[in-house]
Amino acid sequence: MRQNAPNARKTYMKETTMASEKVLAHLDAHRDQHVDQLCDFLRIPSISSQSDHDDDSRRAAAFVADELRELGLEVETIELGGLPLVFAQTEIRPDRKTLLFYGHYDVQPVDPLDLWDNPPFEPVIKDGIVYARGASDDKGQVYTHIKALEAYIRTGEELLVNVKFIIEGEEESGGESIYRFTEENPDKLACDAIVVSDTTLYNESIPGICYSLKGLAYMEIRVDGPAKDLHSGSYGGTVKNPGNALAEIVAGLMDADGRCLVPGFYDAVLDLDDEERAGFAELGYTDEILKDETGAPAAFGEKGYTTLERMWARPTCDVNGLVSGYGGEGAKTVLPAKALAKVSMRLVPNQDPDAVAKAFADHVHAIAPAGVTVEVENLHNANPVLVPRKSDMMQAGMRSLEQGFGAKPVFIREGGSIPIVGTFQEYLKSPVLLLGYGLSTDNIHSPNEKFHLDNYWRGIRTSAILMVEAAK
Ligand code: BES
Ligand code: ZN
């Protein structure tokens, strides 16, 4: 677990009023109910990348839509050829600021299933932690905003901001619906801030306000050799082995010092400024913490940068999957007909995913050995995001986190991507607030995903407080 930064003050503030006592008391009184309802949401296996779960995804959309409708919002469920988007808004008063809350109800696949301690869609609570697929990414986080709004509506306390929700079901699978909706309906989504809870705290006791997300260029390399698998004795040494060929290509992607060898890869990278470097260093993150979090035997990466700098602000190039030949029990003498690699490049401001993908494909073709056919496909892109650290909304976010979590937030960045955020910035031109309530150890995309209920409750409070702070 990330340890407290030496300079972090753990001030548990007295209520410096914020959301009304009535709203906060309502939240305290309904903790158990809010957990039960989250568990109902978590029971829906809304895996967006698996079409046999499309009905479940629609049920998850309906779950969200019904809750918002019960709160009296005007709700639309929109289908644009993919899984539904849920758009909802309170009555819009032009004299008030508007907060747009974004999140996703879809979740990642669950495999490898045998590594889960409990079935992924039967939430289990142990020691104040709920275990289920989607608990942290993103059902538990997006739900905080719904419960915060509910507290205003159920107590009859005046809401000082207009609230809109846009909740999608294709974040994990690269769906197009939300892009189309945003590009075609910027007026509907118009707001004074876009609030996204789909990231992490700095650690268990220090909240973070995230000001940068990495982008992504996701590539697939397909190598084809003989028309079918061959006997490795009969034909070994006579034709180019696609497995060997792919290994040569993969070896040509990175050097031994962790630098990517794709020409021009680093050209557009926006370097960290001195203030950011100093801020990262003050957080006191160490390789021991990294080893503890990951179970890796050692830290590794591009020379000349600290681990946190590499994690948050340097572009990366990583094999995500490598498949060729026989991987089962015992030996099978086979010369494989094919080999496949999936490679993700995580990008930082101001890299352009299309340009990087093109440079990658050119590089792979240039280093591919003779005797095989090589195809490179760009499967999925996301733009990197950078949010100005100085703005009134950022201040409102800071104050809300501080009051909601009882500790001063620090500025952080994330290595993950939330693809729509860059498009929101471009079309809505509003500031983005990345208020993450997860932990980097929540096992998102992995077996035994979890969400700490303390962070859930504090997240709900933070969101309720933001509904006041943003109005200031
Ligand atoms: N919630 C994550 C983004 C994230 C990951 C935030 C790690 C903080 C730390 C989001 O749901 C996600 O998984 N995004 C994908 C996007 C990809 C499929 C384009 C990602 O980053 O892999
Ligand atoms: Zn995710």
What are the residue boundaries of the structural domains of the chain, listed by start?
21-213+384-469, 215-269+315-381
Select from 133, 198, 378 the residue to mutate for testing ligand 1; criterion: most ligand atoms less than 8 Å from CB: 198
pLDDT at 17: 55
Please tell me the residue having the least CA distance from ligand 1 atom 1.
198
pLDDT at 336: 98
Please tell me the residue having the least CA distance from ligand 1 atom 9.
416
Residue 63 to residue 59: CA distance in whole angstroms: 6
Residue 71 to residue 134: CA distance in whole angstroms: 23
Please tell me the residue having the least CA distance from ligand 1 atom 18.
172
Ligand 2 centroid–CA 408 distance in Å is 26
Q: In sequence order, what DSSP letters do the residues of 162-191 get, joined into one string? A: EEEEEEES-GGGT-SHHHHHHHH-TTTT--
Please tell me the residue having the least CA distance from ligand 1 atom 5.
416
164: closest CA among 78, 73, 63, 72?
73
């590539």: which residue's tokens?
219
**pTM reported for the whole predicted model:** 0.93
Q: Please list every protein residue whose CB sits less than 6 Å from any atom of ligand 1.
A: 137-138, 171-172, 198-200, 216, 380, 382, 414, 416-419
Please tell me the residue having the least CA distance from ligand 1 atom 15.
417
Ligand 1 centroid–CA 206 distance in Å is 21
Query: Cβ contacts of residue 235 below 8 Å, gap of 6+?
Result: 226, 335
Task: Please report, as a single letter, which amino acid is at residue 294.
Answer: T
Neighbours of 57 (CB within 10 A): 25
Ligand 1 centroid–CA 416 distance in Å is 5
Give the residue ranges of DSSP H helices in 406-452.
420-428
125: closest CA among 461, 453, 437?
453
Please tell me the residue having the least CA distance from ligand 1 atom 16.
417
Mean pLDDT by 10 residues, the chain (472 residues): 45 56 97 98 98 98 98 98 98 98 98 97 98 98 98 97 98 94 98 98 96 98 98 98 98 98 98 97 97 96 98 98 97 98 98 98 98 97 96 97 97 97 96 97 97 98 98 93
pLDDT at 8: 42
Q: Please give the number of the atom of ligand 1 that sits closest to the Cα of 218.
A: 19
Neighbours of 60 (CB within 10 A): 30
Q: For residue 177, what are its two tokens?
A: 């619906």
pLDDT at 75: 98
pLDDT at 6: 42
Q: In sequence order, what DSSP letters do the residues of 4-45 get, joined into one string? A: PPTT-----PPP-S-S-HHHHHHHHHTHHHHHHHHHHHHTS-
Residue 377 to residue 222: CA distance in whole angstroms: 8
348: closest CA among 380, 378, 311?
311
Q: Which architecture does CATH list for 215-269+315-381?
A: 2-Layer Sandwich (3.30)
Cβ-in-10-Å burial (0-12, 13-18, 19+) of 110 comes to buried
Q: Please give the number of the atom of ligand 1 that sits closest to the Cα of 382.
A: 19
Superfamily of domain 21-213+384-469: Zn peptidases (3.40.630.10)
Select from 172, 347, 439 the residue to mutate for testing ligand 1; criterion: most ligand atoms less than 8 Å from CB: 172
| DSSP code of residue 51 | G
